C-alpha cells in the first residue's frame, strides 16, 4: 500500500526530491537555534523521535539500557513519517562520559503491542513501541528485537562493529530474550503453537466453523487462536549458531525475586511486597533485610513506589509516585532501614521513567508537559535535572502556551487533576473555546490516550485545552480480591462513570473560574475508557457544544453479541444487563437515549476493526435526527498506528471543532464534501447548529 502510493505520487510529480534515509531521519539536528519560537504543526507532533513504550507511567519498564560499566546508554529510537506512512527504527548509543551519541543500526518495521485478550491469543491493539534492549555481560554488544519482512527476531550490534547482525532465524516471532551469564549465548522465547492453531482453524473452515467462544465477531469472521497456546524457550550458541531444543518457557520473576542487593553485600536486600497477597491491584510496600532481619518501611510514602535503589551509605532511595492527589508529582525519599520516617530529598513535577542510580545521580527518561521524552541526570541531593540526550532538539524552536495544574475531587471525594493549556498568544480578558482531552495527563502532553487530539496544536489554533487525568477506580478502594470483583465494583451503580464525570465537571468549573474559557463553547473527546466518559457526560450534562469519539460505544449490541459469546458471558458476570434486560442502559446508552436526549454534534473516527461497535449508536442518533458523522480507517486497531491516518484524524478533528465551536471552515477545495455533510447535519432539525449561527 505504501509502495503503490509512493509510485503514484512520483509518477504525477515533475520533481521528486531526494529521499531522506532512515539513518538521517533518526539523527537529531545539531545546533538548533531559536531566535523566534514558531507555531507547532501536526507533523512536528506525529514525527517526534520516540523511545520506549508510549505510556506516561514512572513504574513501567525502563525505556533505555545502561551498560555494565555505567558509561553508555542504549535506546531504540523510532520516528514516524507522514509522507511515507511508515516508521524508522534505529539503535542509538549515548556516552555518559561526554553526552555524545552515535547511531549503531537503522532499519526494521513497526513493532505493535499485543496481549492475550479475554482468552484470545496475541490480540494486537495498534500501539507502536520500541523493542527492549540488553547489554552483553562484557559490555561489547547490545542485543534487541527487530522486525523485518513481517517477522521479529533477535539482532545484535557491537560497539566497534560496522553493521548489525541477525542472531535468531526462528520460523515465528521472538517474544523475549536474555543473555547467558557468560555472554556466549542468548535465550529466546517464541510461541510456535500460534501458527499451528491458525492452520487448524483454516482446516476447520473447509467444513464450516463452530460458532463458539473462539469468535470475536467485532473484528474477525472466523475463530481466533486461544490464549492457552504455550510459550517455549530455546538457546542459541553465538559461536556455533546451534539452537537448543525447545523447552516450556519459565515464568517471569515476581515478588521477592525482583529484590535488589546492596552493592558488595548480596545478603542485604530491598524489595516491594504486596500488602494483600490475595488482592487484585493491591499496593506494594518497601521492605528490606539486614543480616537476616526483615525491616518494613511503615510510612505512607513507602507505597506507590516508582523505583528504589541502595545508596552508598546503606540507605534506600525511593521514588514515591503521587499520581492522583499530587497531580502526578514525584518525590524522592531516603530511608534508613530500621528507622520509621523516610527523609524527603526533593519533589518534581517532571515525569521520570525507568531511573537507575549511577553514583550521585539518577539517570532517567524524563518528560514535562511541554517537553518530549529525553535522557537526563537527576541529582540525588537536590533534584537538579541535567539533560544527557535530547532526541528532539528541534522542539525547542516551537512555542507552547501557558500551563496550569488544576487539582480537583470527584463528588465522592476521589482526587484527580487536569492541566489547562492556554493559547500561546493568550491575552488577559480573552475567553477561548475549550477542548477536553482524556484520560491521562502525565508527562508530555501529546494527544491524550491514543494520541488523536494534539494538545499543543489545538492551543496554537486558539483553543484552551483541558488535559484530564481520571481519578482512581472505585474497585481499588479497598482492593478487590480478583478482576471480576474489581470490575463489578466499578460497574455497580455506574460508580466509575459517575466518579469520572463529577471529577471532570469539577475540572471544567475550575478552568472556567480562571476567566479564560468560554462556557458556551466546550467540546469533549475520548478513546476507550475516555469514550465511555464522553457518552456518560453527554447524557448527564448540556454544557457540551461538540464531541469527538475515537471508539464508540459501550452499548447492548457490543456486550451482548458483537464481541462474541465468551465476552458476553464475562460482561454479564460483571454486572452488565443480559440480553433483553434494561438494567443501567437508560442511564448510560447513547443509542437508547438518542430520542429523548439532545447530545451535541458527534464525530466518530473509528478503526475498521472496531467501527461495528458504533453501528447501534449511529443508527439510533440518525433516526432521532441527531447530528453524527463517522469515518472508518482501514487496517487499524484499537489505537490507530498509521502516521498518515493520525495526520488525517488531527486535521478533521480540528475542522470539526472549528465548524461547531467557531463557525469556521477551511477553504481547501478537497474538503467541500465534508462541509456539505456538516451543513446537512446543522440543518437536520436537531436544534444544534454552529456557534456563530446561534442567536
In this structure, is residue 534 part of a structural domain?
yes
Q: Which domain holds residue 559?
A: 397-693
Question: At a CB cut-off of 8 Å and minimum separation 6, what does 151 contact?
Answer: 170, 172, 173
What residue spans of 522-668 are helical by DSSP H? 529-540, 556-557, 565-574, 590-593, 615-623, 643-657
C-alpha cell at 15: 520533481
Catalytic residue numbers, as ranges: 528, 610, 638
- 554 part of a folded domain: yes
Containing 54, the helix (H) or strand (E) segment is none
Residue 381 domain flag: no
Instruction: For residues 553 and 542, give the distance between their C-alpha atoms in angstroms, rounded to a whole number.
Output: 19
Q: Is the peptide bond before 478 cis (omega within 30 degrees of 0)?
A: yes
| pLDDT of 266 | 87
The answer to the question of residue 549 being in a domain is yes
Residue 443 lies in a domain: yes
Q: What is the pLDDT of residues 609-621, one digit of tens each?
A: 999 999 999 999 9
Cα–Cα distance measured from residue 682 to residue 668, given in angstroms and rounded to the nearest whole number: 20
Q: What is the CATH number of the domain that holds 560?
A: 3.40.50.1820
In whole angstroms, give the CA distance from residue 589 to residue 619: 13
What is the DSSP annotation of 631-671? EEETT--SS---HHHHHHHHHHHHHHHIIIII------GGG
Indicate if the pLDDT at residue 672 is higher than 70: yes
b/e sequence 88-108, b meaning 16+ C-beta within 10 Å: bbbbbbbebeeeebeebbbbb
Is 685 a member of any domain?
A: yes
Identify each DSSP E strand in 252-304 by its residue range.
260-262, 265-274, 284-290, 293-296
SS3 457: helix
**Average predicted confidence (pLDDT) for the chain:** 91
Position 586 scores a pLDDT of 93
The widest CA-to-CA distance across the chain, in whole angstroms, is 80
Listed residue (109, 230, 243, 238) closest to 175, CA to CA: 230
Q: How much is the pTM?
A: 0.93
**How far is it, in rounded angstroms, from Cα 353 to Cα 56?**
8
Q: Say if CB 155 and CB 170 are below 8 A apart.
A: no
- 538-568 pLDDT per residue, tens: 999 999 999 999 999 999 999 999 999 999 9
Per-residue pLDDT reduced to its tens digit, 501-537? 999 999 999 999 999 999 999 999 999 999 999 999 9
Residue 123 lies in a domain: no
pLDDT band at residue 30 under the 50/70/90 scheme: confident
Structural domain count of the chain: 1
Burial of 650 (0-12, 13-18, 19+ CB in 10 A): buried
pLDDT of residue 257: 58
**Is 272 a member of any domain?**
no
Could you list the beta-strand ranges (E) of 470-549.
Answer: 517-526, 546-549
Report the sign of the C-alpha dihedral through residues 495, 497, 503, 509, in that order. negative
Cα dihedral: 540, 545, 546, 552 (round 10): 10
Amino acid at each position: 500500500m505504501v509502495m503503490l502510493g509512493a509510485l503514484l505520487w512520483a509518477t504525477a510529480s515533475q520533481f521528486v526530491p531526494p529521499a531522506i534515509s532512515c539513518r538521517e531521519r533518526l539523527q537529531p539536528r545539531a545546533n538548533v537555534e531559536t531566535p523566534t519560537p514558531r507555531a507547532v504543526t501536526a507533523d512536528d507532533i506525529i514525527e517526534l523521535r520516540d523511545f520506549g513504550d508510549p505510556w506516561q507511567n514512572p513504574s513501567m519498564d525502563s525505556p533505555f539500557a545502561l551498560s555494565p560499566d555505567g558509561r553508555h546508554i542504549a535506546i531504540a529510537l523510532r520516528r514516524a513519517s507522514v509522507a511515507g506512512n511508515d516508521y524508522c527504527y534505529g539503535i542509538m548509543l549515548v556516552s555518559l562520559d561526554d553526552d555524545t551519541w552515535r547511531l549503531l543500526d537503522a532499519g526494521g518495521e513497526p513493532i505493535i503491542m499485543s496481549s492475550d485478550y479475554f482468552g484470545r491469543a496475541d490480540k494486537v491493539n495498534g500501539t507502536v513501541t520500541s523493542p527492549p534492549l540488553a547489554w552483553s555481560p562484557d559490555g561489547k554488544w547490545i542485543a534487541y528485537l527487530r522486525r523485518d519482512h513481517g517477522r521479529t527476531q533477535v539482532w545484535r550490534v557491537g560497539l566497534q562493529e560496522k553493521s548489525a547482525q541477525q542472531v535468531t532465524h526462528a520460523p515465528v516471532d521472538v517474544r523475549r530474550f536474555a543473555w547467558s551469564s557468560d555472554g556466549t549465548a542468548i535465550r529466546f522465547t517464541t510461541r510456535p503453537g500460534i501458527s499451528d492453531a491458525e492452520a487448524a482453524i483454516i482446516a476447520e473452515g473447509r467444513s464450516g466453523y463452530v460458532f463458539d467462544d473462539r469468535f470475536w465477531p467485532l473484528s474477525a469472521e472466523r475463530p481466533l487462536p486461544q490464549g492457552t497456546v504455550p510459550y517455549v524457550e530455546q538457546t542459541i550458541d553465538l559461536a556455533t549458531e546451534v539452537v537448543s531444543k525447545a523447552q516450556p518457557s519459565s515464568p517471569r520473576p515476581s515478588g521477592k525475586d525482583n529484590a535488589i542487593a546492596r552493592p558488595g553485600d548480596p545478603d542485604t536486600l530491598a524489595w516491594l511486597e504486596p500488602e494483600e497477597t490475595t488482592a487484585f491491584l493491591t499496593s506494594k510496600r518497601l521492605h528490606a533485610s539486614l543480616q537476616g532481619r526483615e525491616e518494613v518501611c511503615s510510612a505512607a510514602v513507602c507505597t506507590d513506589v516508582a523505583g528504589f535503589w541502595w545508596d552508598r551509605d546503606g540507605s534506600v532511595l525511593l521514588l514515591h509516585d503521587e499520581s492522583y492527589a499530587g497531580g502526578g508529582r514525584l518525590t524522592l525519599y531516603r530511608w534508613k532501614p530500621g528507622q520509621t520516617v523516610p527523609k524527603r530529598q526533593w519533589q518534581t513535577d517532571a515525569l521520570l521513567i525507568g531511573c537507575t542510580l549511577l553514583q550521585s545521580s539518577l539517570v532517567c527518561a524524563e518528560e514535562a508537559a511541554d517537553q518530549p521524552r529525553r535522557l537526563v541526570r537527576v541529582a540525588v541531593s537536590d533534584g537538579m535535572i541535567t539533560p544527557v540526550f535530547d532526541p528532539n532538539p528541534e522542539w525547542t524552536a516551537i512555542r507552547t502556551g501557558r500551563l496550569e495544574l488544576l487539582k480537583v475531587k470527584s463528588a465522592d471525594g476521589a482526587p484527580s487533576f487536569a492541566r489547562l493549556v492556554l493559547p500561546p498568544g493568550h491575552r488577559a480578558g480573552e475567553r477561548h473555546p475549550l477542548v477536553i482531552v482524556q484520560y491521562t495527563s502525565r508527562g508530555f502532553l501529546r494527544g491524550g490516550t491514543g494520541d488523536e487530539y494534539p494538545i499543543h496544536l489545538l492551543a496554537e489554533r486558539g483553543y484552551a485545552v483541558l488535559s484530564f487525568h481520571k481519578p482512581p477506580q472505585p474497585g481499588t478502594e479497598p482492593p478487590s480480591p480478583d478482576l471480576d470483583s474489581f470490575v463489578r465494583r466499578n460497574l455497580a451503580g455506574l460508580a466509575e462513570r459517575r466518579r469520572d464525570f463529577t471529577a471532570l465537571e469539577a475540572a471544567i468549573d475550575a478552568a472556567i473560574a480562571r476567566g479564560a474559557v468560554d462556557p458556551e463553547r466546550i467540546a469533549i473527546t475520548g478513546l476507550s475508557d475516555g469514550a465511555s466518559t464522553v457518552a456518560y457526560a453527554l447524557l448527564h450534562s448540556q454544557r457540551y457544544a461538540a464531541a469527538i469519539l475515537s471508539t464508540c460505544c459501550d452499548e447492548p449490541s457490543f456486550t451482548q453479541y458483537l464481541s462474541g459469546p465468551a465476552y458476553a458471558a464475562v460482561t454479564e458476570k460483571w454486572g452488565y444487563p443480559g440480553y433483553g434486560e434494561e438494567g443501567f442502559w437508560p442511564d448510560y446508552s447513547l443509542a437508547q437515549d438518542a430520542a429523548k436526549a439532545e447530545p451535541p454534534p458527534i464525530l466518530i473516527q473509528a478503526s475498521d476493526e472496531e467501527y461495528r461497535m458504533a453501528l447501534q449508536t449511529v443508527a439510533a442518533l440518525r433516526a432521532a435526527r441527531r447530528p453524527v458523522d463517522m469515518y472508518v480507517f482501514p487496517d487499524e486497531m484499537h489505537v490507530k498506528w498509521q502516521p498518515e491516518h493520525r495526520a488525517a484524524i488531527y486535521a478533521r478533528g480540528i475542522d470539526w471543532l472549528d465548524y461547531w465551536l467557531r463557525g469556521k471552515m477551511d477553504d481547501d477545495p478537497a474538503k467541500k464534501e465534508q462541509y456539505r455533510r456538516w451543513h446537512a447535519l446543522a440543518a437536520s432539525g436537531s436544534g444544534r447548529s454552529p456557534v456563530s449561527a446561534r442567536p
